Amino acid sequence: MKEYGPESIRNIAFIGHGGSGKTSLSEVLLYTAGEINRIGNVLEGNTVSDYTSNEIEKQISISTSLMHIEWNGKKINILDTPGYSDFMGDVKSALKVCDTAVMIIKSAEGVEVGSEVTGKFVNELKLPSAVVINKVDNEHSTFEETLEKVKDRLTSGAIVVTFPVLEGVNFNAVVDVIKMKAFTYGDAGSKKVTEGEIPANLKAKADEYRTQLIEKIAESSEELMNKYFEEGSLSDSDIETGLKASIISRSLSPVFAISANKVVGLNNFLDFVTQYFPSPLDRGGEEAKLSGKDEKVLVKPDPAGEPVLFVFKTVAEQHVGELSLFKVYSGSVKAGLDLINESNGKTERLSQLSILNGRNRKDVTQLVAGDLGAVVKLKDTHTNNTLASKSLSVVIDEIEFPEAVIRSAILPKAKGDEDKIASGLHTLHEEDPSFFVKYDPEISQTVISGQGELQLALAAKRLKERYKVDVDLVEPRIPYRETIKGRVDDVEYKHKKQSGGRGQYGHVHFKMEPLPRGAGFEFVDAIVGGVVPGRFIPAVEKGIAEVMSKGVLSGNKVVDVKVTLHFGSYHDVDSDEMSFKLAAIQCFKKGFLECKPCLLEPIYEVEVIVPDEYMGDVMGDISSKRGKILGMDSDGQFQIIKALVPLSELHKYSSQLRSLTQGRGVHKRKFSHYEEVPKEVEQKVIDEYNKSREEDK
């Protein structure tokens, strides 16, 4: 492949709901442009972009695939992203490095939840966008209805560029309102396209769509608006410059009628991409920070500039090792080039550079600013790292991955697998940073978390496939807390043991009282007259700390307690540190049970976004989970419900919400505070703890 400058590169990402045809569209574009000689099929598991065993088995995209084609002397990099909500982290990665987001919508079903979610990402990142209405060959296709839904729910700037001559099973031609011609496509795979006049019955519709397009373009600048009012139209060159400017400014999103299945409308789409979609140069560069400073600097896509690249995805390839996918933001990068990883200060050598079509790698000697590529075996570089030259130490802003909404604990099936599991989970996190791993010492479990059940189940499956370790996913223990509500002015315990020879003797009196929530633990030494020698007092505090870490009622940490050691006695021979530590442990347990003990549970702040029609069901479900509704906001056709819900009620909530709202509800959560557990729940937790202790004996 010849080398392209940034002005000749187009980076596009296909986003949208699962099943909208992103992978199929990528496949037919590769075929249309001559990159492959036969069209693969998702059902047969032989597409270029869905190539992993799990993708083939489940017939869905799990990971973003990078592909490229050449068309009209331009290079188009295509990022095919997953549509399933469990893998939204990969969508965010792709949107970080593309210059135009192409939303794929099914013509019969219209705008679905995955389209809405990814559409919000596009708006957050202020990305230029386009809309492909796919599957116009579906017998229930409603192109114009779907167009209205796109305008209403995704982008008001949606303007038709191509529309179908006939919808449904006879769909084989589109009208192009820029070229003002009809294009008839031959059978799928024939690559035959015939240009002709617009059918008479569609001329008025084509004129109307063209007028809408020109009016929208005219709005992009005062100069074009004045021309339009004076002349009643715009010249072809005005349309070209104005259309590009409107897409870049996000005031216009071109809409295309396509059937990936019948390979109709593809050539018109590709012609438009090369002529009107922004290049990296048109986007003007990326704002970055100078290393170690808050100072911002604009990194321009200049091939002659200092080299800067950003790793947006890491893939573990069998027999190859780690493959780092990157975008060149400045300069040119060549094999053998040394760059500094700005995240850790280590030097990395770019060994083998390649461009990808799915798993197929083609070695290249150089990649220039604006281009996407891959490099193998970087030593200490991962997703979200910036590699730059010594002369331009900058850090590209990291991808903001979605927060986890579901968690599970990992339970090894065989002893001795812990190290392998830890290593495997670390690699899986490197590949997908929206998958999180944490060992929680409080509950003594390794907890994995992410976007959905499928993501976590696949992580367990990959551990088995790659690392030959079997694990179960179980509900994580809840990190309850124990505390007291009452006080006791004097509780006493005497530890005395005599068994021949030197004995054990420790005697303490405590005063115990609650502290405000979040205050922790306070120990007061109020001994007067040396009734407990100073050398034993640290042992008393140590004993209290030990029992507080293990709990009294349920095996959970004790918090917010003040203990005052105010009296005691000792024996000249038999007293030692251990005796006083043991006395302190028993005295604390005794006093704790006299101070109205209770359990506290973690409460999470939950924000649920649902369409209007599901609001009642979702609020009822939250109430059934002991949740407290804090308030509601509206966002277009969506309602935002804010509530406080106990963590113990949130296990697999993302899946429950999905089924409650037909997949259209999403939520996020964050820890809020600890709150007292209702008595009936408290007793259940204590009973379960006592039962597990009996079983362990």
Tens of pLDDT, residues 62-93: 999 999 999 999 999 999 999 988 899 999 99
Q: Tokens in use for 495?
A: 């530890």
d(CA 274, CA 293): 38
Instruction: Identify the bridge partners of residue 418 per DSSP, sorted by sequence position.
Output: none
d(CA 310, CA 396): 7
- Contact between 398 and 385 (Cβ < 8 Å): no
Phi first, then psi, for residue 212 (nearest 5°) are -60, -40
**Check whether domain 406-474 has CATH 3.30.70.870, yes or no:** yes
- Contact between 80 and 26 (Cβ < 8 Å): yes
Would you tell me how many other CB atoms lie within 10 Å of the CB of residue 140? 11
Query: What is the predicted pLDDT for the residue at 607?
Result: 95
- Longest Cα–Cα distance of the chain, Å, equals 114
Section 420-430 average pLDDT: 91
DSSP-H helix ranges across 249-287 = 266-276, 280-283
Percent of the chain whose predicted confidence (pLDDT) is above 90: 83
Which residues have CB under 8 Å from 583's CB, separation 6+?
Answer: 493, 494, 495, 506, 507, 508, 540, 543, 568
| Nearest in space to 265 (alpha carbons), one of 158, 379, 359, 167 | 167
Provide the residue type at 326 as one letter.
F
Residues 312-357: pLDDT tens digits? Answer: 999 987 777 789 999 999 999 999 999 999 989 999 999 899 999 9
d(CA 257, CA 264): 8
Residues 174-210: pLDDT tens digits? Answer: 999 999 999 999 999 899 999 999 999 999 999 999 9
Which residues have CB under 8 Å from 295's CB, separation 6+?
Answer: 289
H/E element holding 21? none
Phi first, then psi, for residue 14 (nearest 5°) are -90, 120
- Coil, helix or strand at residue 579: helix
- Contact between 372 and 11 (Cβ < 8 Å): yes
- Contact between 74 and 10 (Cβ < 8 Å): yes
d(CA 580, CA 532): 9
d(CA 495, CA 380): 56
Which of the listed CATH numbers 3.10.110.10, 3.40.120.10, 3.40.50.1820, 3.40.50.300 matches domain 6-283?
3.40.50.300
Helix (H), strand (E) counts: the chain: 17, 37
Section 683-691 average pLDDT: 94
- Whole-model pTM? 0.88
Would you tell me how many other CB atoms lie within 10 Å of the CB of residue 99? 23
Give the burial class of 527: count Cβ atoms within 10 A of its Cβ; 0-12 exposed, 13-18 middle, 19 or more buried.
buried
Query: What is the predicted pLDDT for the residue at 435?
Result: 95
Strands 481-484 and 597-611: antiparallel
Same-fold call for 286-290+298-396 versus 482-595: no
| Nearest in space to 248 (alpha carbons), one of 224, 294, 217, 207 | 217
Would you tell me how many other CB atoms lie within 10 Å of the CB of residue 142? 18
Query: What is the predicted pLDDT for the residue at 1?
Result: 63
Query: What is the predicted pLDDT for the residue at 602?
Result: 97
User: Could you give the C-alpha distances from 166 to 108, 136, 189, in angstroms and in order?
Assistant: 14, 9, 20
Domain 482-595: which CATH class? Answer: alpha beta
HEC string of 144-197 equals HHHHHHHHHHCCCCEEECEEECCCHHHCCEEEECCCCEEEEECCCCCCCEEEEC
Query: What is the predicted pLDDT for the residue at 320?
Result: 72
Q: Tokens in use for 128?
A: 């230029």
Residues 474-492: pLDDT tens digits? Answer: 999 999 999 999 999 999 9
How is 461-506 classified by DSSP, letter by letter? HHHHHHH---EEEEPPPP--EEEESS-EEEEEEEEEE-SSSS-EEE
Query: What is the predicted pLDDT for the residue at 36?
Result: 95
Phi first, then psi, for residue 71 (nearest 5°) are -155, 130
Section 279-305 average pLDDT: 94
Would you tell me how many other CB atoms lie within 10 Å of the CB of residue 650? 21
Query: What is the predicted pLDDT for the residue at 697?
Result: 66
For domain 600-680, the CATH architecture is: 2-Layer Sandwich (3.30)
Query: What is the predicted pLDDT for the residue at 136?
Result: 98
322 compared with 591, residue with greater pLDDT: 591
Instruction: Please give the mean pLDDT across all residues of the chain.
Output: 94
Q: Where are the domains of the chain?
A: 6-283, 286-290+298-396, 406-474, 482-595, 600-680
Tell me which fold the domain 286-290+298-396 belongs to.
Elongation Factor Tu (Ef-tu); domain 3 (2.40.30)
Q: Tokens in use for 437?
A: 């791993």
